[in-house]
Amino acid sequence: MIPSTFQRAIILAVGAAFSFASTGCRHYYRYLPGPVEQAAAEKAGLDPWKFNWKDLTNRAPESFTVTDRHAVIFAAQVRDLLRKKATVSRIARETSATAQVLAAAAAATLGAVSGGSSKAVVILAGSAAVIPNLQEIFTAKERAEAYNQGANLVAEAESRFQAARAGEVDATRLSLAGAKLIEEIVAALRLVETAIISQIPDIADVQKARGIRPQTLSVSTDALEIQSGAAGEVGVVGDSAIQMIASANTEVADVSRITNETRRVSIRAKDAGLTRVTLSSGAGLRADVLVDVPFQISPAAEHQTYRLAKSASLTLNVSNSSHSPVTFVNLTPDFLHMDLKPNMTSVQLRGKAKGPGVIKIANDFGARRTVKIDVVD
C-alpha cells in the first residue's frame, strides 16, 4: 500500500493550487480611502494613503480641503489596483485549469498504486469536479476583463483631466476638472461592480466613466476655468444655431459675443466664483457649461506654498473681488497672526511659531481657495 505521507503530499500540492485558483473569488477589490478621507487624514497629521480608520475618527479635523492632488493620487491608486486585480484573476483562471488536470492525474495515480482503496482518490476526484464549477460561478475571465476595462476607463479619465488642466495639478483647491475626475472614477468602479455581478450597466454610469455628459445640445466642453478679466470660448457641435444664452450669475461671468457663423460663444470672467451658463438653440435644445473663476492672489507663491520667517510679515491681496465680500479664516492661529486690511480684500500675516500655516479665502459667489504658509526660523 502507498505510504500515507506520499498521499498527503499529493493532496497538499493539489490543494495549494486549488486555494490559489479560488483567491480571486473572495473580494473583487479592496476599499481605498477616497479623496475626502485622504484630505481629512492629511489634515489630521496621519499618512493619507495608509491610516487606521479609528485614528481618523478620533482625530477628525474640523475642516479640510480636497484638492486636485488628492483626486490625481486617488485615480492612480484605483488604476494600479484594478490592473493588479486583472492580473490575479487571469492567473487564478489559468491555475484552476492546471489544478483540475493535476487532480485528475493524481486521482488516477493513487488509484493505480493503491488499487482504488484510498480515500484520497475520492477527495482528489471530487476536487477535479468542483474546480470547473468554481470557474463557472466566479467567471475569473470575465472578472479579469472587467478589471482591465475599469483600469482603462480610469486612465482615460486621467488623460482628460491632464488635457483640461494643461498638466497642472493644484495642491490648494479642487478645480472643476478635478471634481469631474473623481466623478468619472466612481462611475468606472460602479461599472466594474456591475460587470462582476453580471448586471446590465446604467447608461448614466457609462457616459460619466467615458467623460460624456448627457445633454441635448452638444458643446465642445461643459466646464471652463477662466481667470478674472479674461475670456473663454465654448463651441456648439453640429448645425444647431445658438438663439439664447444666459448666465446664472452675471457678476461672475457673462456672455461677451455669440458668433453663429462659427457657432462659438465667448464668455468673459468678471469676479471670482462659480456660475452656470446655459446655451439654447432654436430647436429648444439646451446645454449647461460650468464656469469657474478662481481667486487671483498677489504676490504669487512659489510651488503653491508661501514661506514666512518668524516675526516677519506678509500681505496677501485678493484682486477682482469688488462685487462680493471676501472672507479670510486663519485655521492655524498658533503659527500665524492675521490682520484684515480696511479694504477687506487684503490681509497681513505675521509668523508666530515654526510650523504649517493655513488661510482659507472664500466669497459669496462660491469661490474657494486654501493658502499654505510655512513659518520657518
Planar angle of CA 116, 117, 120, nearest 5 degrees: 85
* Domain 223-293 fold: Immunoglobulin-like (2.60.40)
pTM of the model as a whole: 0.51
Give 350: exposed, middle or buried? Use CB within 10 Å, 0-12, 13-18, 19+: middle
Please report how many Cα atoms fall inside a 13 Å half-sphere around the Cα of residue 66, on the Cβ side: 17
* 345 C-beta neighbours (distance < 10 Å), count: 20
Domains 223-293 and 296-376 share a fold: yes
Q: Name the residue type at position 202.
A: D
Q: List phi, psi (to 5°) of 231.
A: -125, 150
pLDDT tens string for the chain (377 positions)? 444 555 555 445 545 544 444 444 444 334 567 888 888 888 888 887 777 777 777 777 877 888 999 999 989 988 988 888 878 766 665 555 554 544 455 444 444 444 444 444 444 444 444 434 334 334 555 677 888 888 888 999 999 998 888 888 988 888 878 888 988 888 888 888 887 766 656 656 666 667 765 446 788 888 899 998 899 998 887 767 777 788 899 999 998 777 767 678 899 999 899 999 988 876 777 888 999 999 988 898 877 789 898 888 999 988 765 667 888 999 999 999 999 887 778 899 999 999 999 999 998 888 888 899 999 98
Longest Cα–Cα distance in the chain? 99
DSSP H helices, 115-225, are 119-138, 140-165, 176-196, 203-209
Residue 320, judged by CB atoms within 10 A of its CB (0-12, 13-18, 19+), counts as middle
Class of domain 296-376: mainly beta
- The domain locations on the chain are 4-191, 223-293, 296-376
